[in-house]
Structure 1
Amino acid sequence: MRCAVYVRVSTDMETQKTSIAHQRIFFEKYIKDRGWTLVKVYQDIESGTSIKKREGLQALIEDSKKDQFDSILTKSISRFARNTLEGLTIIRDFRARNIRFTTIEDGFDSKEYDEFMFTLLLSIAQKESEKMSERIKFGKLCRAKGGYYNGSNPPYGYKKIDKYKIISSEDISTYVVKKIFSMYLEGKGLYKMAKELNENGYPTPSQVAEKKNSSFIWHQSTIRKILSNRFYVGDMIQNKSSTVNAITGERKVNKEEIVCVKNTHEPIIDLITFEEVQRILSEKKKKRTGNQKHLFSNILVCGECGSKMHYKKEKEAYICGKLNKMGKNYCKGTYIKESVLKEVVCNELRKIIYEKICSNTIVKEVEEGMENYNGKEKIKKIEKLIIKLDQKKSRLLDMCIDDRVEEKLYLRKIQEINGQKRLLGETKEKISKELKENEGHYKEVIEEILKFETLDRMTLNKLVKKIEIFRNREGIITYIFGIE
């Protein structure tokens, strides 16, 4: 029997790595003793309940579709999955492909046990995971109140010397933190600061933390985060957020449960400098017109590097955001006048309207809609009522001729009917006039739409998804609606 093995540990600590090695040795012997064939060992070093981030398990699932093995072995249900729904779905897929699934510690074998037993084991594993999450959360809260650092990576400029204690790293990162605060107090803006840091090639926080796919580019948001972090004056602020669902990993902001312990570690920035920086940040935030957007904001993109383009008020034009922030070494950039772009977009939209939408068709559809307008129905009802009144007059005349009604009564009834007809006629004339006026109004509106002489943000956002501008001034417009 061809066998695949899945092993997992929750962290990359040395003890856990040894655990993976022990699991591999155990399964190799287990399979050999039974005369089976080991096809492949899939492994993950990943905590949590969801399988989405587990590359090893994802590879196992994909290979199971290629008829590469007949059986899957793993240590326990909890090593495989702690989410009942995800685990059950995967096992169903395995069984549909006649792949046997076995766990050693739980003694589960999909060949011998039914789905109910597996669901029960998964539910127990999920419940244990939820309890573990609560214990971890409580432990972190206690450590935070004691002034111990809970994070895996210390803030930029610091380093860990044991599990919970942090000191200044006294390297280039500590120097950069001091430089950032100094530059800001000198009056430099965030984008100029980012540009200078990038030109000097200073390591970014993600590079120092050795994160996967770490960025070597300094962004304004990163600098603002450093400037706002009280950690640099020696205060420990933790428990800003917490996990509310161990299964989905959903987190919430703890506005009322934030833990602040002062003087827990060595400061890099003195308190006076920090408070002055906060004052300047606060004043600039008030002055910023964050909601004021230019016509093509968030729609215009540099075709060379994919960055959003920034509006330059003094030039009344848009320029590549990366070029604007970091210079030509990062993008040769694109540039276009707003007036030119506006004219181009308007012309393109007019062209689409005239080529793809026939104005006569629109008018016809509106006229058909007018046929169904309530006013038309009212006129039809009035005309029917007038016909009924004429019929009533005719019957009264016949009755009068046959002496079945007195002449005095006949004349009174005829007078009433004529009054009703006059009132209905006036109402009909009024409604007809309104219909004619409305029809003219709709035609004017349609003509205005087809002219498309003005372009505002509301119209642009409803029609255009993205505009890419390249160095040769060529552009690509992506519309929200489909064009064939």
Structure 2
Amino acid sequence: MRCGVYVRVSSDKLEQQASLQYQKELFYNYIADKGWDLYEVYIDVESGTTAKRKNLQRLIDDAMNKKIDVILAKELSRLARNGELSYQIKNLCENHGIHIITLDGAINTLQGNTHMFGPYAWMYEQEAQRTSERVKETLKTRAKKGLFKGSTPPYGYTIKDGKLHIRDDETPNIVRRIFNEYLAGYGRDSIARRLYNEGIPTPAEVAGKKNAGDKWNDSTIKLILTNPHYTGDLVQGRTTTVSVTSNKRKKASNEELIIIPNAHEPIIPRDVFEAVQHQMKLRSKTIPAPKRHLFTNIAYCADCGKGMWYRSNRKGYVCGGYARFGKKACSSHVIKEEVLKQTIIHDIQSLMQQIDKEYYLKQLEEKAKQSQLSVQKKLDKINKQIDALKSRKRKYIELLADEKIIQEDYQDMIEANNKEINELVVSKKESLLSSHKVVENIQKLKQELAQFLNFDELTPEILHRLIDRIEIKADGTPKIFYRFSAPKIE
């Protein structure tokens, strides 16, 4: 039996590391006593209420791919602390013939012991829910005392003794600037673009977060403009988890908010904050989805790699990085759509003049015949080998009957013989499949060649069939990557 051992602890604290080692030793002893094989130990340092655990997912994938025969866990709560996930794992194992054993004796599908699966799953979920509620109540108590309960303070603030204090750097002034510019009529994208071009550190960079980006975005500006903490009020509990088994969050109602007025020094006067909220409601509108143009998702900036954006006022395309973040990110790389179309049409028409249609079609027919003949020769050879192996099996049984070989030798020879036959049968099927695919591909190529030779208009379908990618250089010169320069027969 190949065993997949699952070990989970909730954190990487020292006492949890000791628990991790203890669990592993339990499994090593258990597997040794049973005389089974260890395939792998899967370790997660996360809560058991979520299915999004890297190594749990690997364990499930390996079980589905028949790499293991049994899943071992210390108890069901190590695998899952919510009923839905518990039953997902149970059903997956039943459907793929994988067993589950917990060392506490509650679950052992080898012995048919599954009747307690539901009660244990429910019990662990309830325990996790109660723990979650206790944590939420603790955080609410801190919030009611005027203590900030988040791990990252709002941009412009720092945390000292659980209270928000204005930072002694430029970030408070950046917050004031964002509010003032918005009231002056600038849009959120425009504000974000200027901050990026001036090299102002983003909130994620100031907080020291991993993989923090240096680009300001519309969403970042919106979060700052709508954050009531800047008025001096401590407003917490604005969102909460839907349940202990879900990472989704829902917006709290006004009655559920925990508001402590004047809990800390404000960065933004209250009247300015309210004026901004009023302006945001006036400016809100439904923005239609961007219209797709001929070269959308095929034309890219040669320097920064961003997709080219169509601009109707230019009747062409500009670099997406430049369009969104300005000249610090990239230059415009502008090109007229008509210029790009005519360039491609000229290239294809020039290529068409070099093609002998009848010659290439004849070559394709010949290629198909050669492929079928080659496959047939291979199949004939395989059939002869299979017949020879079947004859050899008859000789083996005769040797056994004449007591010239013993039963063990016979079994070894038959096993080896059957393995060779099975490999040849697989090879035969692959050859037949390959033959069909070659014919299908050649027929498809003939159809595409005919369409290519009759080309008279650049449509999206033709464009994506003939071109992989277009890169636009800084001076607007296109570099076109065609799928082929001319049809070739090898």
Q: How many aligned residue pairs are there?
A: 349
Per the alignment, residue 40 of structure 2 pairs with: 40
Check 1:293–1:83 CA distance in 2 against 1; reply closer, same or farther (3 A cut). Answer: closer
- Does residue 118 (structure 1) correspond to residue 117 (structure 2)? The answer is yes
Q: Distance in 1 between matches of 2:165 and 2:26?
A: 42
Q: What SS does the corresponding residue of 2:195 show, helix, strand or coil? A: helix
Instruction: Please say if residues 334 and 473 of structure 1, whose CA atoms lie closer than 8 Å, have aligned partners that are also in contact.
Output: no
Q: Distance in 2 between matches of 1:24 and 1:271?
A: 58
Per the alignment, residue 283 of structure 1 pairs with: 279
Per the alignment, residue 152 of structure 1 pairs with: 151
Question: 244, 252, 255: which is aligned to 1:254?
Answer: 252
Q: Distance in 2 between matches of 1:281 and 1:230?
A: 10
- Does residue 236 (structure 1) correspond to residue 230 (structure 2)? The answer is no
For each residue in 1:207-240, what CA deviation from the matched residue of structure 2 results, as whole angstroms up to 9, or x when unmatched?
4445565433211220232133222343211122
Matches within 5 A, 1:348-363: none
For each residue in 1:49-106, what CA deviation from the matched residue of structure 2 results, as whole angstroms up to 9, or x when unmatched?
231x210101111222444444322222122113323322323333454443222346
Give structure 1 stretches of 5+ with no counterpart.
Answer: 345-467, 477-484
Question: 188, 191, 195: which is aligned to 1:190?
Answer: 188
Instruction: Please say if residues 309 and 320 of structure 1, whose CA atoms lie closer than 8 Å, have aligned partners that are also in contact.
Output: yes
Instruction: Please say if residues 231 and 273 of structure 2, whose CA atoms lie closer than 8 Å, have aligned partners that are also in contact.
Output: no
Q: What SS does the corresponding residue of 1:155 show, helix, strand or coil? A: coil
Q: What is the identity percentage for the equivalent residue pairs of Structure 1 and Structure 2?
A: 34
| Greater gyration radius | 1
Instruction: Please say if residues 3 and 39 of structure 1, whose CA atoms lie closer than 8 Å, have aligned partners that are also in contact.
Output: yes
Instruction: Please say if residues 184 and 277 of structure 1, whose CA atoms lie closer than 8 Å, have aligned partners that are also in contact.
Output: no
For each residue in 1:251-297, what CA deviation from the matched residue of structure 2 results, as whole angstroms up to 9, or x when unmatched?
33222322211233454x1426xx32542563365256655788669
Check 1:308–1:254 CA distance in 2 against 1; reply closer, same or farther (3 A cut). Answer: farther
Letter in 2 for 1:111: L
Letter in 1 for 2:225: L
Q: Distance in 2 between matches of 1:5 and 1:12?
A: 19
Per the alignment, residue 456 of structure 1 pairs with: none
Letter in 2 for 1:223: I
Q: Distance in 2 between matches of 1:214 and 1:236?
A: 26
Q: What SS does the corresponding residue of 1:108 show, helix, strand or coil? A: coil
Instruction: Please say if residues 5 and 71 of structure 2, whose CA atoms lie closer than 8 Å, have aligned partners that are also in contact.
Output: yes
Stretch of structure 1 that moved more, 236-245 or 87-96 = 87-96
For each residue in 1:403-451, what CA deviation from the matched residue of structure 2 results, as whole angstroms up to 9, or x when unmatched?
xxxxxxxxxxxxxxxxxxxxxxxxxxxxxxxxxxxxxxxxxxxxxxxxx
Instruction: Please say if residues 194 and 325 of structure 1, whose CA atoms lie closer than 8 Å, have aligned partners that are also in contact.
Output: no
Check 1:16–1:200 CA distance in 2 against 1; reply closer, same or farther (3 A cut). Answer: farther
Q: Distance in 2 between matches of 1:317 and 1:229?
A: 39
Q: Distance in 2 between matches of 1:173 and 1:19?
A: 43
Q: Distance in 2 between matches of 1:36 and 1:293?
A: 58
Q: Distance in 2 between matches of 1:469 and 1:261?
A: 56
Matches within 5 A, 1:70-469: 70-105=69-104, 107-160=106-159, 164-168=162-166, 170=168, 176-177=174-175, 180-181=178-179, 189-209=187-207, 211=209, 213-256=211-254, 257-267=256-266, 269-271=267-269, 275-276=271-272, 278-280=274-276, 282-283=278-279, 285-287=281-283, 290-291=286-287, 303-304=300-301, 305=305, 309=309, 319-333=318-332, 335=334
Stretch of structure 1 that moved more, 329-338 or 93-102 = 329-338
For each residue in 1:288-324, what CA deviation from the matched residue of structure 2 results, as whole angstroms up to 9, or x when unmatched?
6655788669x966744556847576x6776445312
Check 1:186–1:289 CA distance in 2 against 1; reply closer, same or farther (3 A cut). Answer: closer
Instruction: Please say if residues 83 and 118 of structure 2, whose CA atoms lie closer than 8 Å, have aligned partners that are also in contact.
Output: yes
Per the alignment, residue 50 of structure 1 pairs with: 50
Check 1:141–1:27 CA distance in 2 against 1; reply closer, same or farther (3 A cut). Answer: same
Instruction: Please say if residues 39 and 69 of structure 1, whose CA atoms lie closer than 8 Å, have aligned partners that are also in contact.
Output: yes
Letter in 2 for 1:119: G
Letter in 2 for 1:39: Y
Check 1:303–1:171 CA distance in 2 against 1; reply closer, same or farther (3 A cut). Answer: same
Displacement, 1:141? 3.4
Check 1:287–1:248 CA distance in 2 against 1; reply closer, same or farther (3 A cut). Answer: closer
Q: Distance in 2 between matches of 1:252 and 1:260?
A: 18
Check 1:135–1:90 CA distance in 2 against 1; reply closer, same or farther (3 A cut). Answer: same
What is the alpha-carbon root mean square deviation over aligned residues? 4.4
Report the TM-score when normalising by structure 1. 0.58
Report the TM-score when normalising by structure 2. 0.57
Displacement, 1:111? 1.6
Per the alignment, residue 393 of structure 2 pairs with: none
Displacement, 1:117? 1.9
Q: Distance in 1 between matches of 2:63 and 2:225?
A: 50
Check 1:334–1:120 CA distance in 2 against 1; reply closer, same or farther (3 A cut). Answer: farther
Per the alignment, residue 465 of structure 2 pairs with: none
Instruction: Please say if residues 204 and 218 of structure 1, whose CA atoms lie closer than 8 Å, have aligned partners that are also in contact.
Output: yes
Q: Distance in 2 between matches of 1:55 and 1:61?
A: 10
Q: Distance in 2 between matches of 1:172 and 1:10?
A: 38
- Does residue 60 (structure 1) correspond to residue 59 (structure 2)? The answer is yes
Displacement, 1:26? 4.3
Give structure 2 stretches of 5+ with no counterpart.
Answer: 343-468, 482-490
Instruction: Please say if residues 42 and 56 of structure 1, whose CA atoms lie closer than 8 Å, have aligned partners that are also in contact.
Output: yes
For each residue in 1:138-180, what CA deviation from the matched residue of structure 2 results, as whole angstroms up to 9, or x when unmatched?
4443433332333333323444456x55545545655654554
Check 1:77–1:153 CA distance in 2 against 1; reply closer, same or farther (3 A cut). Answer: farther
Instruction: Please say if residues 312 and 319 of structure 1, whose CA atoms lie closer than 8 Å, have aligned partners that are also in contact.
Output: no
Q: What SS does the corresponding residue of 1:151 show, helix, strand or coil? A: coil
